[in-house]
Structure 1
Amino acid sequence: MDNEAIKQLDLLATFHYVVGGLIALFSCMPFLHVFMGLAMVSGTFFGATEGSAHPPLFIGWMFVIMGSVFILLGWACAVCILIAGNKLRKRQGRLFCMVVAGVECMFMPFGTVLGVFTLIALNKDSVKALFP
C-alpha cells in the first residue's frame, strides 16, 4: 500500500467535510427570502396602511418557493459532499466521489479547488489500487 496515497485520501476526506459544512451553512442564506415571502403573503411586510398598493400574492409565494428550492438543493449538495468525504475515508465508491468532485467544481472558490484536486488524486494509479 502506498502510504502517500492514503494520507492524500484522508486529507481530501477531511476537506470534503469542511467544504460540505460550509456549503450547508451558506445554503441557509435563502431563509431570508423565505421569511420575506412569508411576510409578504401574510401582509405584515408592507405595514398595515390601507389603500397602499401591495404586490400580487404570487410574488410572496415565489419568494417562499424559490428560497425553499435553493435551500434544499444546497443541503442536498452538502450531504452528497459529506457522503463523498466518508467514502474517501473508507476507500469506497470511487465513481461516486469523482461525480461529486465534478459537481463540487461549481462551488467557487473552495469547491473548485477541492474538486480539481480530488479528480487529480482519484485518477492516480496508486489511489485507484486502494479502491475495490
Structure 2
Amino acid sequence: MSPKEQLNVLAISHYVVGGLHALFGSFGLIHVSFGVAILLGLFPNESRTAAGPEMAMAAIFAIIGSIVVAAGWTLGIVTILSGRRIARRRSRKFSIIVGAINCALLPFGTTLGIFTLILLSKDSIIQEYGESPAPI
C-alpha cells in the first residue's frame, strides 16, 4: 500500500474506533438513569427515609455513570477528530498522542494505538505530512 492509502485506512479506523468509544461510553447512561430515578423516588419503597443510605448509593451511581459517559464521549470525539486530522495530513503529533492514549483501551483502542504509533513514525508518512524526518 502507498503511504496515502495507509493514512486513509488509518483515518477510517479512527472514525470507527471513535464511534465505538462513544457507543460504549453511552452504556453509563443506564447507571445515570437508575440513579436519578431512585433519587426522584420513582421506585416505591416504604422503608426508605429521605436521607437513607440508598439515596447516597443512588447519587454515587449517577455520578459514576456520568463520569463514564463523559469520558467515553470525550475519547470518542477526540479519536474521531484525530482521524479527521490524519485525513487532512495535519497535527501528526496530536494523532500520536491520541494513539498513545488509545493503547490503554483493550482491544480496539490498543490495536489502533499501536498501528497509529508505528505508521506515523515512518519517514514516508512524515514526508506525507510535509515535515522532514528527524536526523538519526
Q: What is the CA distance between 1:13 and its match in structure 2?
A: 0.2
* Runs of 4+ off more than 4 Å: none
Q: What is the CA distance between 1:75 and its match in structure 2?
A: 0.5
Q: What is the CA distance between 1:52 and its match in structure 2?
A: 5.7
Deviation digits for residues 87-118 of structure 1 (CA, Å, limit 9, x no counterpart): 11011000000000001112211111111011
User: In the alignment, which residue of structure 2 is the partner of 1:21?
Assistant: 19
Kindly indicate whether residue 100 of structure 2 is the aligned counterpart of residue 89 of structure 1: no
Q: What is the CA distance between 1:55 and its match in structure 2?
A: 2.9
Worse-superposed segment, 106-115 or 78-87: 106-115
| Aligned partner (choices 104, 107, 115) of residue 117 of structure 1 | 115
User: In the alignment, which residue of structure 1 is the partner of 2:47?
Assistant: 51
Q: Give the whole-Å Cα distance in 1 for the aligned partners of 2:47 and 2:62.
A: 25
Q: Give the whole-Å Cα distance in 2 for the aligned partners of 1:24 and 1:101.
A: 16
Matches within 5 A, 1:30-69: 30-45=28-43, 47-48=44-45, 50-51=46-47, 55-69=53-67
Q: What is the CA distance between 1:73 and its match in structure 2?
A: 1.0
Q: Report the residue type matching 1:106 in the other structure.
A: A
Q: Give the whole-Å Cα distance in 1 for the aligned partners of 2:4 and 2:48.
A: 65
Q: Aligned in 2, Cα 1:51/1:14: closer, same or farther, shift over 3 Å? A: closer
Q: What is the CA distance between 1:64 and its match in structure 2?
A: 1.2
Q: Give the whole-Å Cα distance in 2 for the aligned partners of 1:66 and 1:101.
A: 25
Structure 2 gaps of 5+ residues are 131-136
TM-score w.r.t. the length of structure 1 is 0.90
Q: What is the CA distance between 1:6 and its match in structure 2?
A: 0.7
User: In the alignment, which residue of structure 1 is the partner of 2:70?
Assistant: 72
Structure 1 gaps of 5+ residues are none
Deviation digits for residues 42-97 of structure 1 (CA, Å, limit 9, x no counterpart): 2233x24x236753422211111111111011101000000000011011000000
Q: Report the residue type matching 1:117 in the other structure.
A: F
User: In the alignment, which residue of structure 1 is the partner of 2:133?
Assistant: none
Identity of matched residues, %:
38
Calculate the aligned-residue CA RMSD, in Å. 1.6
Q: Give the whole-Å Cα distance in 2 for the aligned partners of 1:59 and 1:129.
A: 54
